[in-house]
């Protein structure tokens, strides 16, 4: 009899323990399920891009002036190059450029008879030489005006070479760091406006930023006709959380 009572007590205790364990598992399952739902809700995001652009005038000009000379006597060729270098520098000083803004490169001399593929009977001048005088200045408007007056050098006996890849005027913008903070702020603001519109359309609420990536700044000519006006552009990419 006593043994049967003990067995019954063990069964009751086991049942109670089992009931508590089941209840605990149910509660744990509820919290796990709620946690999964919360995590899934946090994973709802929207990725947007914000653009900021500026048009600014170039603040530095690099203006190479190149001319060619030919002669059969090497000494005479060098003398002519030196003379014309002085004329070009004088022209530039007349236009308001200082000595510090003007540099003269070493002349490039070619002996045409030293080139094996040239027919020497058809070579009128054995030596050809080129010289480049370069203006590096922040007087961009003065450079542009002076470029229109290069014909004056032709009247002084100097044949100016046309612009090519080796002698092409460049216009630069060097103050990008002054614009970066405002442009990044604008791009971020534009991105948020896009995200807010998306959230309204999807009947959601825009949350905090999950991830942000700033793009590279680019500086390009506004167009091929106005290389002295630059277009600066940056795109920021932001990812926001969404909630109901």
All structural domains of the chain with their residue ranges: 1-43, 44-57+175-243, 61-171
Among 7-16, 118-127, 209-218, top mean pLDDT goes to 209-218
| Per-residue pLDDT reduced to its tens digit, 204-214 | 899 899 899 98
Q: What is the pLDDT of residue 84?
A: 95
Tell the residue number behind the tokens 């603040």, with chain if given: 59
Asked which of 17-26, 66-75, 139-148 is least confident by mean pLDDT, the reply is: 17-26
pLDDT of residue 88: 96
More confident site: 24 or 103: 103
* Residues forming a β-bridge with 224: none
Phi, psi of 76 (to 5 degrees): -65, -35
Work out the pLDDT band at 32, boundaries 50, 70, 90.
very low
Name the strand (E) or helix (H) holding 104. Answer: strand 102-104
Q: How confident is the model over 183-231, as pLDDT tens digits?
A: 999 999 999 999 999 999 988 899 899 899 988 999 999 998 999 999 9
C-alpha 150/C-alpha 66 separation (Å) is 11
Top-level CATH class of 44-57+175-243? alpha beta
Query: Residue 28 above 70 pLDDT?
Result: no
pTM of the model: 0.74
pLDDT-derived band at 115, boundaries 50, 70, 90: confident
Of 24-33, 79-88, 118-127, 147-156, the poorest mean pLDDT is in 24-33
d(CA 220, CA 54): 11
Q: CA of 238: how far to CAs of 176, 202, 233, in Å?
A: 23, 18, 17
How far is C-alpha 148 from the chain's CA centre?
30
Exposed/middle/buried for residue 22 (C-beta within 10 Å: 0-12, 13-18, 19+): exposed
Q: What pLDDT, on the 0 to 100 scale, is given for residue 44?
A: 83
Which CATH entry fits the domain spanning 61-171: 3.30.70.2970, 3.40.190.290, 1.20.1050.140, 3.90.550.50? 3.30.70.2970
Output DSSP code: residue 95: T
Structure tokens belonging to residue 161:
């070479």
3-state secondary structure of 85: helix
Sorted by sequence, the CB contacts under 8 Å of residue 124 that are 6+ apart come out as 70
Measured distance CA(89)–CA(136) in Å, rounded: 13
Q: Which of 141, 130, 1, 169 is nearest to 59 (CA)?
A: 141
The pLDDT of residue 96: 96
Whether pLDDT at 18 is above 60:
no
- Give the torsion sign (CA, 120, 123, 126, 130): negative
């Amino acid at each position: 009899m006593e043994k049967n009572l003990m067995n019954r007590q063990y069964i009751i205790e086991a049942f109670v323990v089992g009931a508590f364990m089941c209840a605990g598992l149910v509660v744990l399952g509820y919290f796990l399920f709620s946690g999964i739902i919360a995590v899934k809700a946090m994973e709802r995001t929207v990725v947007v891009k914000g653009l900021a652009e500026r048009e600014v005038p170039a603040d530095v000009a690099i203006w190479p002036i190149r001319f060619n000379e030919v002669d059969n006597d090497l000494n005479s060729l060098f003398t002519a190059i030196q003379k014309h270098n002085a004329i070009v520098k004088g022209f530039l000083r007349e236009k308001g450029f200082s000595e510090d803004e003007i540099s003269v490169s070493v002349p490039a001399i070619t002996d045409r008879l030293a080139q094996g593929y040239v027919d020497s009977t058809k070579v009128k001048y054995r030596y050809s030489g080129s010289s480049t005088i370069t203006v590096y200045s922040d007087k961009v408007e003065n450079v542009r005006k002076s470029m229109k007056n290069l014909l004056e050098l032709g009247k002084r006996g100097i044949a100016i070479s046309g612009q090519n890849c080796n002698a092409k005027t460049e216009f630069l913008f060097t103050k990008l760091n002054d614009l970066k903070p405002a442009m990044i702020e604008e791009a971020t603001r534009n991105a948020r406006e896009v995200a807010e519109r998306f959230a309204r359309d999807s009947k959601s609420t825009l949350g905090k930023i999950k991830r942000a990536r700033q793009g590279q700044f680019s500086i390009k000519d506004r167009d091929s006709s106005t290389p002295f006006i630059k277009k600066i552009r940056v795109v920021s990419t932001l990812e926001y959380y969404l909630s109901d």
